[in-house]
Amino acid sequence: MTKPVVENAFWQPEAERMPRVELAALQLTRLRAMVARLTANVPFYRDACARAGVTGDNIRSLDDLRRLPFTTKADLRDNYPLGFMAVSRREAVRYHGSSGTTGKPTFVAYTRRDLETWADLCARFLVATGVRPEHTAQVSFGYGLFTGGFGLHYALERIGVGVIPVSSGNSDRQLTILQDMAPEVLISTPSYALKLMEGIQARGIPRGSLGLRFAHFGGEPWTEDMRARIEAGLGILCFNNYGLSEVLGPGVSGECPWRNGMHIAEDHFIVEAINPETLEPAPEGEPGELVFTALTKEAFPLLRYRTRDIATLTRVPCPCGRTLARMGRITGRTDDMLIIRGVNVFPSQIEEALLRVEGTAPHYLIEIARPGALDEATVHVEIRPETFSDSMSEMQALRDRIGRAIQAVTGLGMHIELVGPQTLERFEGKAKRVLDRRKA
Ligand code: ADP
Ligand code: ZN
């Protein structure tokens, strides 16, 4: 996108527009101090850095980052629950956990200063994209171990926004609040916004009659086509933000008014994109697994944390004036990559393909089975009420169009199963779009 969609504004202009030479110097100073602190306080890093021969003192340039050990989710599990904590429990004032979508939850910790940094980093993307003190925000992210609810909550308060902490679930109540309290801002996962959008349409609330103007989505992958659908359906602007509990929670990166990627808080984290097999840096602009090194965190700083999230990075200057690197959309996780007949496919590719086909609803389920020797993929796609037709040939034509769109994006032929409106499951948090029967 080449034009700003809202007026450009800054929350921490010195940090967000810092010349890159200064930024690099700041990162180096912070990295050296961090490595010195972690080798002294965290047994895992004491041992791993000793093996690699790295100390805070012998880091001379940012290139030395590559000598540091990686940290993985498995390392967190091996040191469950708080083996990576770098301060005493006395200094911790909050704990969160990952939702445990892929196993046992992992815990992370925050000091008071960590919470302040976190609020500032979320405030950066909120303010950048139009959120102002006079606004009211409905936070439909879950409040609890999940970082989404509390993370955005304190940032909104810090800006001066009136927060309605409704949390996730109970869509009827959410809709009533949207109507009666008329918040300008919605915070949720994109899939939950879809569910709310359907509720709005079912209640017959006219598009544009709500006070809603902006939505900030994060927590799960979504696509540009999904953005277009929700923006058109609700008459609002939608923005993307990214984060994960092991690194911080939301606020690691977020969009600016140009919406050409998410600016990363590089004054607090060093980001790399690597080839997940060779562990070598991915060429700039090519997709790689994102790896983050904490520079300022006190309670739970990780070195070179492998996120398993795949995205591209660019340091090309952005028209908004922020000097901070941008990451593209997360196109998948190394662990949600499907291998179908030897071809690597991410669920987001299928979403991209089917949202390009007129008449589909943005609800789908990818089912994979191996009835014989070969994998068979079936995509269950909801059609819109107005598209539903008694004509077999029309339905067949729609199926063919979807099949071709998916083939064009993934290179694979898949069975397309059209299902009626409102038949697939809806989600209050992160959506589950894959049913892999090969694992059963
Ligand atoms: P988990 O899902 O592993 O329990 P979290 O609750 O911390 O952990 O969620 C973080 C993950 O959510 C990220 O690693 C990423 O895969 C996904 N995520 C968060 N924000 C976005 C976003 N804007 N786009 C795509 N994926 C996202
Ligand atoms: Zn920008």
How do residues 5-22 score in pLDDT, each as one tens digit? 999 999 999 999 999 999
Distance set, CA 440 to CA 368, 370, 435 (Å): 11, 11, 10
User: Rounded to whole angstroms, how far apart are CA atoms 184 and 236?
Assistant: 9
Ligand 1, atom 12: closest residue by C-alpha: 219
| Total residue length of the chain | 440
Asked whether 218 lines ligand 1 (CB < 6 A), one says: yes
Is the pLDDT at 103 greater than 70? The verdict is: no
CATH 3.40.50.12780 placement within the chain: 1-333
Is 213 within 8 Å of 239 (Cβ atoms)? Answer: no
Q: Find the 4 Cα to ligand 2 centroid distance in Å.
A: 9
Got the DSSP string for 166-230? --S--HHHHHHHHHHT--SEEEE-HHHHHHHHHHHHHTTPPTT-SS--EEEE-SS---HHHHHHH
Alpha-carbon distances, residue 217 vs 139, 253, 325, 327 (angstroms): 11, 12, 20, 15
Does any ligand 1 atom lie closer than 6 A to the CB of residue 219?
yes
Per residue in 418-427, pLDDT tens? 999 999 999 9
Which residue in the block uniquely carries the two structure tokens 């990818």?
A: 366
Residue 320 alpha carbon to ligand 2 centre in Å: 4
Q: Which of 244, 245, 428 has most ligand 1 atoms within 8 Å of CB, for mutation? A: 244
Instruction: Give pLDDT, residue 291.
Output: 98
In this structure, the dihedral spanned by the alpha carbons of residues 172, 184, 150 and 154, taken in order and rounded to 10 degrees, is: -150
In short, whether 245's Cβ falls inside 6 Å of ligand 1 is yes
The yes-or-no verdict on residue 337 having pLDDT over 90 is no
Mean pLDDT over each residue of the chain, to the nearest integer: 94
pLDDT score recorded for residue 342:
85
The closest residue, in CA terms, to atom 13 on ligand 1 is 244
Angle at 187 between CA 348 and CA 266, to 5 degrees: 70
Q: How far is CA 252 from CA 63, 148, 325, in A?
A: 22, 12, 12
Fold entry, domain 338-439: GMP Synthetase; Chain A, domain 3 (3.30.300)
243 beta partners = 250
Q: Which atom of ligand 1 is nearest to the CA of 249?
A: 7
- Ligand 1 pocket, residue 242 CB under 6 Å: yes
pLDDT value, residue 104: 67
Mean pLDDT of 63-78: 95
Structural domain 1-333, CATH architecture = 3-Layer(aba) Sandwich (3.40)
Q: Identify the bridge partners of residue 95 per DSSP, sorted by sequence position.
A: 109
What pLDDT, on the 0 to 100 scale, is given for residue 430? 86
Half-sphere exposure of 270 (CA within 13 A, CB side): 27
Q: What spacing in Å lies between the alpha carbon of 347 and ligand 1's midpoint?
A: 14
Q: CA–CA separation, 372 vs 212, rounded Å?
A: 50
With a 6 Å cutoff on the Cβ, whether 84 touches ligand 1 is: no
* Confidence at residue 388, expressed as pLDDT on a 0 to 100 scale: 83
Q: What's the gap in Å between 414 CA and the centre of ligand 1?
A: 27
**Which residues are registered as beta bridge partners of 216?**
187, 239
Residue-wise pLDDT tens digits, 126-159: 999 999 999 999 999 999 999 999 999 999 999 9
Every domain range in the chain assigned CATH 3.30.300.30: 338-439
d(CA 161, CA 235): 21
Residue whose CB lies within 8 A of the most ligand 1 atoms, among 121, 242, 246, 302, for a mutation test: 242
CA atoms within 13 A on the CB side of 374: 8
Cβ of 99 less than 6 Å from ligand 1: yes
